[in-house]
Amino acid sequence: MTTLWDDGGVSSVERLQAIIESHATGEEEHMAGYRRLGKLSGDLVSAMLVDLVLEDEERHHALLRRMAARLGDDIEMTRSTSALPSTAPPTDTSATILALTREYAEDEHKGAGILRDLAKHASGLYGGVFSLLLETMARDSEKHERIMRFILQRLSDSRRRQPALAPSAV
Which residues have C-beta within 8 Å of that of residue 142, sequence separation ≥ 6? 108, 109, 112
What integer pLDDT is reported at residue 33 of this predicted model?
94
Q: Cα separation of 157 and 151, whole Å?
A: 10
What integer pLDDT is reported at residue 170 of this predicted model?
44
Please state the pTM of the whole predicted model.
Answer: 0.84
What integer pLDDT is reported at residue 60 of this predicted model?
94
- Residues 113 and 145: beta-carbon distance below 8 Å: no
Question: CA-based angle 154:84:112, to the nearest 5?
Answer: 55
The tens-digit pLDDT sequence of the chain (170 residues) is: 455 555 566 789 999 999 999 999 988 889 999 999 999 999 999 999 999 999 999 999 999 999 999 999 999 999 999 999 988 899 899 999 999 999 999 999 999 999 999 999 999 999 999 999 999 999 999 999 999 999 999 999 988 776 655 455 44
Q: Cα separation of 129 and 51, whole Å?
A: 14
What integer pLDDT is reported at residue 10 of this predicted model?
77
**From the CA atom positions of the chain, what is the Rg in Å?**
22
pLDDT digits (tens, 9 = 90+) for 92-128: 999 999 999 999 999 999 999 999 999 999 999 999 9
**φ and ψ of 78, to 5 deg:** -120, 175
Domain ranges of the chain: 11-87, 89-161
Residue-by-residue DSSP string for 35-49: HHHHHHS--HHHHHH
